[in-house]
Structure 1
Amino acid sequence: MPHPLAFLLLPFAWLYAGVLHVRNWLYDNGLKESVAFAVPVISVGNLRAGGTGKTPHVAWVVRQLRQAGQQPAILSRGYGRQTTGYRLADATATAATIGDEPLQHYQDFGGQVPVVVCENRRTGIAKLLAQETGVTAVVLDDAYQHRRVRPAFSILLTEQQRPFYHDWVLPAGRLRESRGGANRADVVIVTKCAPGITGVEQTAIAARIHRYTCPRVPVLFSTYVYGLPVPVGAAEAAIGPEIVLLTGIAQPGPLRDYLVGAGYHIAHHAAFADHHAFSAADITAVAAQLRPGQCVFTTQKDAARLLEPALWPAVARLPVFYIPIEVAFLADGAAQLRQLLSPLFQPHAVV
């Protein structure tokens, strides 16, 4: 059930859900146009606003496609950027010009994967395919509700600790649309799972999800694997057990849990809203919290924003490190997802 205060917002949530239901019905019945493209479009998204792990899962999909010999591109809205329209990431890109998550993708793949931002995904895909003629697949980051594009394959993410079936539509909850929107998914991935999640727990979660999807839709489970700290600022700094944590993400809890479990003591946590545009004052405040022997830990997405030219002189003097994150699937989930994606790239006979 929603929080008691949320009951006051339920009428607005029902109204919002009703409007979205009509919108989806129009697309489902062909009364509003949804366009497919010549190459497979793979959508990675969620029903709940923020924090389900889209960025590392998009990276996982792109890596698998590259290993299979495909040439994927990534298209995002570029949330939080200070520009508009279509932009192709290049060496001059910053979080302000393309957004923190697209910049992270561009850096992750060393510029070898085209990364594009555009509010209108249909326009963005068309321009991308016209300009980057070698692209064989487009991976959409956070476009589950963007019905103007008809994906060849839809991946729906939901957190183990905050599953969509326990949530409510905005503004009473955090869902962008009703739970029934899950019926468009070709696969559901339960993310940020505790490594010790049991088979019984997985079966129970899958059963709850299948109330809203086709029973044949696979439900997979993934967890985070954290890497060694990567220097952002003063690279020669030594890492001790006492840290200051700096985050501007929707759900910093899993990172905090990991750091505590790894033996770090978080002396101070400077927590900001998702996609927060760090200011010089923010950096000064973080620096003031540092004590001798301490360093600053942050996320890779946050580090992308710390590299802004206006902030870099201050950041470069601080012992700042980001903690890289990769996705690992439980059981045979990785093999299942690769098998699900494979038919998208098989040659089909012309009828």
Structure 2
Amino acid sequence: MNLLRKILLPFVPFYYLVTWLRNKLYDFGIKKSMTYDFPILVVGNLSVGGTGKSPMVEYLVTLLKDRVSLATLSRGYKRETKGFKLVTASSTAKEVGDEPLQFKRKFTDVIVAVDADRRNGISNLRSLTNKPDVILLDDAYQHRKVKAGFYILLTAYYDLYCNDIVLPTGNLREPKKGADRADIIVVTKCPDSLSFEEKKRITDKLAINRNQELFFTTIDYGSDIVNISETKPIKSLQNIHFTLVTGIANPTPLLDHYTSLGLKFDHIGFPDHHNFTNAELKKLNDLEFIITTEKDYVRLASDISEKKLWYQPIEVRFVGETASFDNKIVKFIEKK
């Protein structure tokens, strides 16, 4: 914990009270939530960043896109536009945000939109000629103006929400009690060899409710790196010294993965969703070989030579209960 966060500790009770009171006003119906007669799923977290929302959204899109007409709706964090906007493959990260652009380029047949006002975004999506049957809300757990039918709450293995406190000293956006709204809780970024005993320890620590179900996932790093025109096996990098550029909340798992492969690289880290300056882009263009994350790639690809810029694909993999998770999601969709 840095010094500034320690200094801000006296403000924690105030932040806790404000967020707790806001939730209670929605719980008691004093502040109104909009309900809908079609399936809406939310993927979110209690913590600020770093829980793996994007890979989970992509997992859900892959699961559902051939079953229903699907749309994803995100805020479009750090975009330079306002209001509702449909994402196209030719959009830029500055127009729509990096993660929505990543979704659209990967799933070209799925409707992808951005709007900070989720009610307005849902209304616009349902007004389309090819309106979606199901809407997946990305990072909308605290957006209580919308009452979704299904909530998926993510918490990272190395940073469980039960071990944290609210902002500004901690990283929680709201009190831990907010986890009660979740239908499913997923512990993300787990070690690949997570034991039964460790699962039980975490389950006991989170103390989930009887109506909730807990799942565990890990990150699968693809065996190839990718750019706009080709793929290359990671093992081909054994004799290359490259630069890893990241603008994500926690690059440690990726750093550890590359180190475990015996690769030789320098790491340049930027804040999450970083907007690269012209000076930074100039320095990056002077490098010979760059690997970055997929969401950083969509922000860098137009400014750095495709010959030297590559990204590392990742996927969510469940440690155990994949079928049970999939069945719960599909059953919710079919019930509606």
TM-score, normalised relative to structure 2: 0.93
CA distance in 2, matches of 1:64, 1:234: 26
Q: 1:230 aligns with which of 218, 226, 242?
A: 226
Specify which of 276, 280, 283 is matched with residue 282 of structure 1: 280
Distance 1:198 1:236 in 2: 33
2:294–2:313: 8 Å Cα contact kept in structure 1? yes
How far off its partner does 1:343 sit?
A: 2.7
Displacement after TM superposition at 1:229 (Å)? 0.2
For 1:234 and 1:325, locate their aligned partners in 2 and report how far apart those are by CA, in whole Å: 17
Of 299, 305, 311, the match for 1:316: 305
Contact 1:17–1:169 under 8 Å retained in 2? yes
How far has the Cα of 1:134 moved from its partner? 4.1
Post-superposition offset of 1:219: 0.8
Residues 192-231 of structure 1 mapped to structure 2, 5 A cutoff: 192-210=189-207, 213-227=208-222, 228-231=224-227
Deviation digits for residues 157-203 of structure 1, max 9, x if unmatched?
00000111111111111111111110111010000001012111111
Structure 1 stretches of 5 or more lacking a match? Answer: none
> 2:134 maps to what in 1?
137
Counterpart CA distance in 2 for 1:3 and 1:89 is: 38
User: Hey, what does 2:325 align to over in structure 1?
Assistant: 337
* Equivalent position amino acid for 1:182 in 2: A
CA contact (8 A) 1:234 1:318 kept: no
Whether 2:325 is the aligned partner of 1:346: answer no
Post-superposition shift, 1:233? 8.3
Q: Please state how far the C-alpha of 1:272 moved relative to its aligned partner.
A: 0.5
Mapping of 1:61-80 within 5 angstroms? 61-67=60-66, 69-80=67-78
Instruction: Give the C-alpha shift of residue 13 in structure 1.
Output: 1.2
Question: CA offsets, 1:76-113, max 9 Å, x none?
Answer: 0000111110000123311010000000000111x200
Counterparts of 1:236 and 1:147, CA distance in 2: 44
Partner of 1:298: 292
Q: Is the 8 A contact 1:225 1:328 kept in 2?
A: yes
* Contact 1:234–1:317 (8 Å) recurs in 2: no
- Which of 181, 186, 190 lines up with 2:187 in the alignment? 190
In structure 1, the partner of 2:45 is: 46
Give the whole-Å Cα distance in 2 for the aligned partners of 1:233 and 1:246.
Answer: 20
Cα distance change, pair 329–234 in 1 and its aligned pair in 2 (3 A): closer
Letter in 2 for 1:165: C
Which residue of the other structure, out of 80, 83, 87, is the alignment partner of 1:82?
80
Determine if contact 1:157/1:191 at 8 Å carries over to the other structure.
yes
Match of 1:99 among 91, 97, 100: 97
User: How has the CA–CA distance of structure 1 residues 72 and 235 changed in structure 2, closer, same or farther, with 3 Å as cutoff?
Assistant: closer
Structure-1 separation of matches of 2:232 and 2:318: 34
CA shift for structure 1 position 337:
1.4
Q: Is the 8 A contact 1:222 1:329 kept in 2?
A: yes
3-state SS in 2 of match to 1:258 = helix
Q: What letter corresponds to residue 72 of structure 1 in structure 2? A: L
3-state SS, counterpart of residue 62 of structure 2: helix
CA contact (8 A) 2:88 2:101 kept: no
Match of 1:153 among 138, 150, 154: 150
Cα separation, 2, equivalents of 1:317 and 1:140? 32
Q: Quick one: distance in 2 between partners of 1:236 and 1:300?
A: 15
Q: 1:5, 1:180 → 2: CA distance?
A: 26
Q: Give the partner amino acid of 1:260.
A: T
Give the fraction of aligned pairs with identical amino acids, expressed as a percent: 38
CA shift in 2, pair 1:236/1:347, >3 Å? closer
| Alignment root-mean-square deviation, CA | 2.1
- Whether contact under 8 Å (1:233, 1:318) holds in the other structure is no
Report runs of 4+ in structure 1 exceeding 6 Å deviation: 2-5, 233-238
CA deviation profile, 1:268-297 (whole Å, cap 9, x unmatched): 21110111112332132234454xxxx211
